[in-house]
């Protein structure tokens, strides 16, 4: 029996951090034997925020190297660059004919990005949507909300549907896009009276979700938060970041409750240290003998034990252009094979037929 198709994309903006590693990459490595895994770098999606060309290319290359260094095996999984599959662009045009601009404008991610493009602050409770829409329509051409931002969900739906993926591991912020993908698939099937697309769902890895907090005291690690430890961080810079992580004044009474910034450091310790080390510092917190400086030193070394071999592999891989070229070519060929087949079917179904 053929394996179920798992697809995951990552926008090529910035380096990968510990949150990406524990939240996604490490899990991908574990499932690459059991599923038909396809991992791609969404450079077309990255274009929606108009990066400069040199940065875009450098970022694609970095993420590719980081994926490989983390253990994704190009002979098991299909690793490819979105823009290497031109079938995606054509199907994006075709699917857009069945997507409403209203439903796109109501998408949370669009509203966030449009606000950013217009230089507006975060929405307040009871904000007037109508006024916001007027601002988008009336916006100056130099502060525009580009059409690519609006149709971002169409492109993502195409990524998924063109590969016939049914399992799509995504973060919480992407669940709405996945919901739209299912809606578009159903709409296509019912409009053309076919049973062509299967509806994709979030991949459930089982167990509790991994918590990877940032170093700034609250919230999760995220590249837009500026609180990240990157896989590529050099030891000196990494140690400095960890030593500067937010804490508090320390427990004054035995068995005090733990404030979020400190609990966050323990979460990171739990991911990277041994149970004995975690217990040692938990006990020290409980009896008020803890010194955060010691905890941070330990944490930095334990994180480095995880990231150092990965960082070294990233740098080796980045230096091997031939290898990268081979991987990308092999991935593109495999991805295009499935994409071309789907696109041919979709053209046929929609009535674009050869004479």
Side-chain half-sphere exposure of 300, counting CA atoms within 13 A: 19
Nearer to ligand TRP, 169 or 217 (CB): 169
Nearer to ligand TRP, 162 or 300 (CB): 162
Nearer to ligand TRP, 161 or 306 (CB): 161
Q: CB of 176: closest distance to ligand TRP in angstroms? A: 10
Backbone angles phi, psi at 71, to 5 degrees: 115, 5
Angle between helices 292-319 and 275-286 (to 10 degrees): 150
* Contacting range for ligand TRP; rule: CB under 6 A; set: 4-12, 217-225, 247-255, 339-347: 4-12
Q: CB of 170: closest distance to ligand TRP in angstroms? A: 5
Give yes or no for a contact between 12 and 60, defined as CB atoms under 8 angstroms apart.
yes
Number of residues counted as binding ligand TRP (CB under 6 A):
13
Q: CB of 290: closest distance to ligand TRP in angstroms? A: 37
Q: Does 107 bind ligand TRP (CB under 6 A)?
A: no
Q: Does 217 bind ligand TRP (CB under 6 A)?
A: no
Q: Which of 38, 77, 64 is nearest to 160 (CA)?
A: 38
Beta bridge partners, 42, equal: 11
Helices (H), the chain: 18-20, 26-31, 43-46, 53-69, 86-96, 101-105, 108-118, 129-137, 147-150, 152-162, 175-191, 235-243, 260-272, 275-286, 292-319, 321-350
Q: CB-based contacts of 64: which residues, under 8 Å, 6+ apart?
A: 41, 79, 81, 324, 327, 328
Q: CB-based contacts of 266: which residues, under 8 Å, 6+ apart?
A: 258, 278, 281, 282, 285
Q: Does 11 bind ligand TRP (CB under 6 A)?
A: yes
Interface with ligand TRP in residues 134-193 (CB under 6 A): 156, 159-160, 168, 170, 174
Q: CB of 146: closest distance to ligand TRP in angstroms? A: 16
Q: CB of 31: closest distance to ligand TRP in angstroms? A: 15
Nearer to ligand TRP, 162 or 238 (CB): 162
Nearer to ligand TRP, 78 or 298 (CB): 78
Q: Any idea which residues carry the catalytic annotation? A: 113, 220, 223
Binding mask 33-72 for ligand TRP (x = CB under 6 A): ---------x--x---------------------------
Q: CB of 298: closest distance to ligand TRP in angstroms? A: 32
Nearer to ligand TRP, 96 or 174 (CB): 174
Give yes or no for a contact between 44 and 288, defined as CB atoms under 8 angstroms apart.
no
Residue with tokens 């075709």: 94
* Contacting range for ligand TRP; rule: CB under 6 A; set: 6-14, 49-57, 223-231, 289-297: 6-14
Strands in 78-81's sheet, in edge-to-edge order, are: 78-81, 36-42, 5-11, 167-168, 201-202
Give the span between the Cα atoms of 78 and 71, in whole angstroms: 13
Interacting residue ranges for ligand TRP, rule: CB under 6 A: 7-11, 42, 45, 156, 159-160, 168, 170, 174
């Amino acid at each position: 029996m053929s394996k179920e198709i798992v697809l995951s994309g990552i926008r090529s903006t910035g380096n990968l951090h510990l949150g990406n590693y524990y939240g996604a990459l490490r899990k991908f490595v574990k499932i690459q034997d059991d599923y038909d895994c396809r991992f791609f770098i969404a450079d077309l999606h990255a274009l929606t925020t108009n990066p400069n060309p040199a940065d875009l290319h450098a970022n694609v290359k970095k993420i590719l190297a980081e994926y490989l260094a983390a253990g994704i095996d190009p002979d098991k999984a299909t690793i490819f660059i979105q823009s290497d599959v031109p079938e995606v662009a054509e199907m994006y045009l075709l699917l857009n004919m069945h997507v409403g601009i209203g439903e796109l404008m109501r998408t949370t991610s669009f509203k966030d990005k449009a606000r950013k493009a217009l230089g507006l602050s975060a929405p307040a409770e009871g904000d007037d949507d109508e006024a916001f829409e007027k601002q988008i329509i009336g916006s100056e051409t130099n502060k525009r909300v580009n059409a690519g931002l609006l149709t971002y969900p169409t492109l993502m739906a195409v990524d998924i549907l063109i590969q016939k993926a049914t399992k799509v591991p995504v973060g919480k912020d992407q669940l709405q896009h996945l919901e739209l993908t299912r809606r578009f698939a159903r709409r296509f099937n019912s409009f053309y009276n076919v049973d062509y697309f299967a509806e994709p769902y979030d991949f459930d890895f089982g167990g509790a979700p991994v918590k990877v907090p940032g170093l700034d005291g609250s919230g999760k690690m995220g590249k837009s938060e500026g609180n990240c430890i990157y896989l590529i961080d050099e030891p000196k810079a990494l140690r400095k970041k960890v030593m500067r992580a937010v804490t508090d004044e320390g427990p004054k009474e035995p068995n005090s409750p733990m404030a979020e910034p400190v609990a966050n450091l323990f979460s990171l310790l739990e991911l990277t240290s041994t149970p004995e080390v975690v217990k040692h510092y938990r006990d020290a917190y409980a009896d008020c003998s803890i010194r955060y400086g010691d905890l941070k030193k330990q944490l930095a070394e334990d994180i480095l034990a995880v990231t150092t071999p990965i960082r070294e592999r990233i740098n080796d891989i980045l230096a091997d252009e031939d290898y990268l070229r081979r991987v990308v070519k092999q991935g593109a060929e495999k991805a295009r094979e499935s994409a071309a087949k789907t696109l041919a079917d979709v053209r046929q179904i929609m009535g674009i037929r050869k004479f």
